Structure 1
Amino acid sequence: RARAEALAGPFGIPKVYDSYDALLADPDVDAVYVANIHPAHLEWVVKAAEAGKHILVEKPIGLNRPEAAQMIAAAEQHDVFLMEAFMYRCHPQIARTTELIASGAIGQVRLIRSAFGYNAGSNYDGRALNQSLGGGGILDVGCYPISAARWLAGAAQGQPFADPTSFKAHGVLAPTGVDHYTAATMAFPGDIIAEVSTAVGCNIPGEVTVFGSEGTLSIDNPWLPSSPCRSAREPLPPETTFPAATIQLTRGGNRETITVPADRDLFTYEADMVANHIAARQAPAMSWADT
């Protein structure tokens, strides 16, 4: 409780709770953000749904497809909002990229390359490398490049996302048994191929690049655009500015930088996405079917 009070004070948050159960029992709480360790998502999403709370749950929504299906079923049964928190999907650069792909700015999409990885060191008890805590690159950050490949393959065909027709991966395990670094190829309808890579055993620069028959598109900061401070301990000052996102478009040897302005933090875009779509119970940024 002391830690909760210390965080709540600077932000003017009027209530803190001794437990998750106490929070869910409060009738004044309309929505919750489930951001505990991966293996705990199922329990607390289901409990939140049963309590009638709308839910934003950190990625990955669960450890596997059956867990995700169980959470979606709970949201349907109790008529509450549920979204898997892929925050990057909520930024305006996603809509702009979708427009460019759908308009044929680079011709027919042929190949997608997407990556996200970091070096978690050798703390085998820590979350990133601990199997019992849902560690490993694929669950932690590999879900980003996979979700981006699905989104872009769908955008190329006028759909919100596309399911791969085949998936082949190679990886190396850490001593704890979690995936340490992994690369995979995905094939999609329309003769689209995606190369995705992830790691908690080495640094891999964040990348989203799309190669088409007439050009190339690359997002400069695909995962954390317009986010000057991810872990603020006090409200950001009113004069805080948020960096614009940039997309590089290359056609016929000419390179153009497309700027996508931002008027708020990336995670504020995500919170607004939830608030604006609670009545629909799903948000277009990350639908249940896409999850």
Structure 2
Amino acid sequence: MAAIRWGILGAAKFAREQMGPAINAARDTQLVALATSDPAKAAPFQAIAPGLRVFDSYEALLADPEIDAVYVPLPNTLHVEWTRKAMEAGKHVLTEKPIAMRADEIDGLIALRDRTGLVAAEAYMIVHHPQWHQVRDWLQTGAIGDLRRVSATFTYDNSSDPDNIRNAVETGGGSLPDIGVYTLGCARFVTGQEPSDILFADIRRENGVEVRAEAVAQFDGFTLTSLTSMRMLRYQSVTFQGTEGVVEVPVPFNPLGYGDAEVRLMRKSGPVEVFRYPGVNQYVLQVEAFGAAVRGEAPYPCSLEFSRGTQAFIDMIWAAER
């Protein structure tokens, strides 16, 4: 099959800095088009993808028959609409997280995916990184005995950027939609379990936007404590504590940007096991996995059903607060 030809809806900063270069660098893919109403914003994309076609509307890009797949990095509240429109235009679509603002909004996307046979997924990149496959292997083979507690933290401070879409209710802002998908979804990914109850939820808001969320969730045999914030020092870490050992993930979500990826396994006896992953780019791996799914070579590792489960988890936290 020929290289998969990608278009991007909108010249978002994240698309410019991460996903555009990743699409361009991935095997058997080409970045061929961008939709933006501001031609000046196209220049950085054209620098990495000479010959890039620039459309002045999202609809015009979706109408181009020479585009196979679309990446959607729009504000959160537009994700469902443009994921649906991309599929209706016959395009495979990879949409930034969160793909929806409520779990039930994903049901229609699942039905449309099944009806069209297209690949549609949330850009949940961590499941493509080998460090998370190693953690899942350790936990599911009993390397730390019975899992008893997970602690997941992801914080940063964007208080100096009040115009950021994450700081606005109307664009689906808040730390849980932005980064709670990671602290909550990573535990679901490595354990294969779903939460049964929310034991505690503390939500802090500014101007109606949730800027900090701390929650404790009950799973079968273990609890998960999640802290996300847009008003604290930049920090991330996940720890899995069991009856026989501990797994630490010091840079769980943004390796290369935040630090070097590595995972550590500590047990009652024996040396600490450490696996390091220098230079691994999870965004490139994500694009390549998407391409493999489009070509029918392998199932996509992050299904819409998985994404629905994480959003349902977020919905449970909102409900517990109320």
Which band: TM-score by shorter chain? 0.7 to 0.9
The residue that corresponds to 1:236 in the other structure is none
* Pairwise CA distance, 1:183: 0.9
Letter in structure 2 aligned against 1:88: I
Q: Secondary structure at the match of 2:74?
A: coil
Q: Equivalent residues in 2 for 1:142-221 (5 A)?
A: 142-154=180-192, 162-189=193-220, 191-203=221-233, 205-221=235-251
Query: Unpaired segments of 5 or more residues in structure 2?
Result: 1-37, 308-322
**Quick check: 2:129–2:280 contact (8 Å CA) kept in 1?**
no
Q: Hey, what's the Cα distance between the residues in 1 that align with 2:253 and 2:187? A: 13
The residue that corresponds to 2:26 in the other structure is none
With 9-18 and 135-144 compared, the bigger mean Cα shift is at 9-18
Pair 1:116–1:228, CA change in 2 (3 A) = closer
* Pairwise CA distance, 1:204: 5.6
Query: Unpaired segments of 5 or more residues in structure 1?
Result: 155-161, 230-242
Q: Percent identity?
A: 28
* Pairwise CA distance, 1:217: 0.3
Q: Secondary structure at the match of 1:174?
A: strand
* Pairwise CA distance, 1:254: 5.1
Pair 1:222–1:57, CA change in 2 (3 A) = same
**Quick check: 2:203–2:214 contact (8 Å CA) kept in 1?**
no
Pairing 1:69–2:100 present: no
The residue that corresponds to 2:277 in the other structure is 261
Q: Hey, what's the Cα distance between the residues in 1 that align with 2:204 and 2:298? A: 36
* Pairwise CA distance, 1:170: 2.4
Q: Hey, what's the Cα distance between the residues in 1 that align with 2:280 and 2:54? A: 26
Pair 1:53–1:262, CA change in 2 (3 A) = farther
Compute the TM-score of the two structures, normalised by the length of structure 2.
Answer: 0.77
Structure number having the greater helix percentage:
2
Deviations 1:67-104 (A, max 9, x none): 22222222222221011111111111111111111221
Q: Hey, what's the Cα distance between the residues in 1 that align with 2:306 and 2:239? A: 21
Q: Hey, what's the Cα distance between the residues in 1 that align with 2:111 and 2:117? A: 10
Match of 1:91 among 129, 148, 162: 129
**Quick check: 1:153–1:192 contact (8 Å CA) kept in 2?**
no
* Pairwise CA distance, 1:12: 2.7
Letter in structure 2 aligned against 1:3: A
Q: Hey, what's the Cα distance between the residues in 2 that align with 1:252 and 1:212? A: 11
**Quick check: 2:132–2:190 contact (8 Å CA) kept in 1?**
no
Q: Secondary structure at the match of 1:52?
A: coil
* Pairwise CA distance, 1:151: 1.6
* Pairwise CA distance, 1:255: 5.0
Match of 1:10 among 47, 57, 61: 47
Pair 1:281–1:62, CA change in 2 (3 A) = farther
Pair 1:55–1:192, CA change in 2 (3 A) = same
The residue that corresponds to 1:131 in the other structure is 169
Number of residue equivalences: 269
Match of 1:252 among 251, 268, 274: 268
Pair 1:5–1:128, CA change in 2 (3 A) = closer
* Pairwise CA distance, 1:31: 0.4
The residue that corresponds to 2:320 in the other structure is none
Q: Hey, what's the Cα distance between the residues in 2 that align with 1:280 and 1:145? A: 30
Q: Hey, what's the Cα distance between the residues in 2 that align with 1:134 and 1:80? A: 26
Q: CA RMSD in A?
A: 2.2
Compute the TM-score of the two structures, normalised by the length of structure 1.
Answer: 0.85
The residue that corresponds to 1:235 in the other structure is none
* Pairwise CA distance, 1:16: 1.6
Letter in structure 2 aligned against 1:145: T
